Structure 1
Amino acid sequence: MTEQQTVAPDPADPAEAAAPIAFPAVPDAPPPSRRALRAVARWTAALLVFGGLGTGTALAITSAERTDVPGLATEGDGRWEYPELSLPALPAGSPRPFSEANRAEIHHADLRELLLPAPAGATPDKALDGGWVKQERFLAEYRAEDRDELAQLLVDSPPRHIAARGWTMPDGTRARVYLLRFDSTAYATHVRDELRVGPSMAWLPAGAAETEFDTAWTFSRAVEGVSSYVFTEKAPHGEAHTRLAYSVAGDTFALIVHERPGTAEAARVPFHQTVILQNQLLG
């Protein structure tokens, strides 16, 4: 897919058409007055205006057209071709995570089905195939000297499940997405707070000497209910350049990593694209 994808729920099955019913004839009514016609016209115009504004707002949030996203302004901007996305089916009677009926902001869908799929041309990571992974695999994303402390954090605030998917692109960029689901939003928020997500994070990803906020990222809350924190490795980088993002969506915590070996930086546009699409699946 060459355009920024949107995520939309599956449509409901159409109802069966009802048989036509014959109604008795009704006497002709007198024609409406000119005053009534003018009132109808005014209300119709008002409804069209407000309807247009409402639709435009919804599309601005869910479509994320390339002209609205930093760096996604032309066809040749380096975006990856992701498959068409859709939200997974929910168990009967279960609400969406940020609906009025779900004040606890719980994701009821299978966590593995909320993982972003690999884009076209990617080589899948056999160890991160979209299934469950152990905490040790998640901890391997961090420096060896920090893993014991981070492991203790996950003991104190244990995730119910961890799902992950990874792939490598033709330019050598290695992408990994981890989703951690906790028993409540409080646990997911606690992990974010303990990581001290910001310029002086408690634990840095393996291979990154120092990170800083990605100042080009301006869509931290573009998806309702999902907050994101996006970083890039400071120059000069080592054997690879790393971009990473944390997203918090109710009871679910996401880590998204793009890592490109060599002297070139991991491209910003496809990284922002990956974060936006993953957030839409969580929202």
Structure 2
Amino acid sequence: MTDSIAPAENPPSPAENPALAAAPALGRGSSAPATGIVLEDGPAPAAPADVWAAPGLAHGPFGPTETDEQRLRRIRRRRRTLVRRGAAALVLLIAGTASAYAVTAPDRTDIPGLATPKDGRYTFPVLALPPLPSGKPAPGAPGAELRHEADLRRLVLPAPEEAIGPAGGGSASHTAPPSATASAPGTAAASTAAAPAGPAPAQWAVCEDLAAELAEAQTLKSDLMANACRAGVVREWTAKDGTKTRIRLLRFGSREEASNVSNSLWLTSELKGVGKLELEKDAKGLPTTIGVGAQLRHNGDEKTGKPDTTRAGYLLAGDVLGLIVMTNPAGVPQPAFHQVVLLQSDLLA
């Protein structure tokens, strides 16, 4: 016979059994081990409120998560930040490019703070060598003597932009005699050829005109006759600062003949009405042109403060002899003088 426990007809109420009132409500099928009483289904208790949760955030297994609206706002803020940064970078790039163009486009002399102070140097046109007669070598060509076969008038340095006086020099009567041009090889061919584009040529001049500028003119005249000067040219101009420049070139039949007259000219270098000229000490640092000998002289005195009212440059380039004289009662600027000597030397090299 098996023992069984029949359910009570009238189960005790919580008031009658205090244990039932203290026991928590269990769901269907749950049992209380202490009493073995099965309870009916009941509403689940509400979860305690999370006081630390941010409003509008849902809680996931790893903490709070964003809502769709918050995520969209965050994406928009990030996009606006990227757009602002990109716009700022673009503005900086445009400003930098504009600044670089503003500095490199104009001439250096037009930019405040970068302009080179005026020191007396001139602005010359673009220099170009004249064409050579057909079949004649260039001066200083390999295996050739330093002879100048081109038109001698176009080997003279042109007048600068600062010139306000005559740029050709000489007069219509100062033309080379027919014998002088005919005896110089290639001279007639060069003079009859079509005139090249560029500055106007210098004027022909009589060789003895150079001797007229010296205090001992007779000595140089004798040397010019003995060494058969073939042709002479001259160009003169006056700059805005009052500096007068005169350039003379004489062509001979050979380098030896030009050298003989050059030695005489350098020894008797006293100009008429100027007095003795001293060698320029500062000319030691002046760059020299290969194949061209130069001697620079002046009449200033640093000890007494006397300005250089006259500066003279004596050139020898193969068969051509040159004399550059610059005068100014207020003083001839040394940079301008050195500039003229260098450029004229380059044309003869």
Whether TM-score is above 0.5 comes out as yes
**Structure with the greater alpha carbon radius of gyration:** 2
Structure 2 counterpart SS, 1:128? coil
How far apart are residue 94 of structure 1 and its match? 1.5
Partner of 2:320: 252
Larger relative contact order, structure 1 or 2 (CA cutoff 8 Å, min sep 6): 1
Match of 1:115 among 156, 161, 181: 156
Matched ranges for 1:219-238 at <5 A: 222-235=288-301
Q: In the alignment, does 2:178 pair up with 1:137?
A: no
Sequence identity of aligned pairs in percent?
35
Q: Deviations over 1:27-78 (max 9, x none)?
A: xxxxxxxxxxxxxxxxxxxxxxxxxxxxxxxxxxxxxxxxxxxxxx944222
How far apart are residue 140 of structure 1 and its match? 2.4
Instruction: Report if the CA contact (8 A) 1:220-1:229 is conserved.
Output: no
Instruction: Report if the CA contact (8 A) 2:251-2:320 is conserved.
Output: yes
CA distance in 2, matches of 1:98, 1:217: 25
* Amino acid of the structure 2 residue aligned with 1:248: L
How far apart are residue 135 of structure 1 and its match? 2.8
Instruction: Report if the CA contact (8 A) 1:208-1:241 is conserved.
Output: no
Match of 1:158 among 228, 242, 248: 228
CA distance in 2, matches of 1:159, 1:239: 35
CA distance in 2, matches of 1:166, 1:242: 15
How far apart are residue 91 of structure 1 and its match? 1.4
Q: In the alignment, does 2:133 pair up with 1:91?
A: yes
Partner of 1:271: 337
* Amino acid of the structure 1 residue aligned with 2:130: P
Report the CA distance shift for 1:109/1:80 in structure 2 as closer, same or farther (over 3 A).
Answer: same
CA distance in 2, matches of 1:270, 1:147: 28
How far apart are residue 125 of structure 1 and its match? 5.5
Match of 1:188 among 258, 269, 281: 258
Contiguous gaps of at least 5 residues in structure 2: 1-114, 172-201
How far apart are residue 279 of structure 1 and its match? 0.3
CA distance in 1, matches of 2:127, 2:119: 21
Match of 1:216 among 282, 292, 305: 282
More strand by share: 1
Instruction: Report if the CA contact (8 A) 2:313-2:324 is conserved.
Output: yes
Q: Report how many aligned residue pairs link the two structures.
A: 202
CA distance in 2, matches of 1:160, 1:177: 17
Structure 1 counterpart SS, 2:281? coil
Q: Deviations over 1:139-177 (max 9, x none)?
A: 22212xx11222111111121000110011112111000
Report the CA distance shift for 1:240/1:275 in structure 2 as closer, same or farther (over 3 A).
Answer: closer
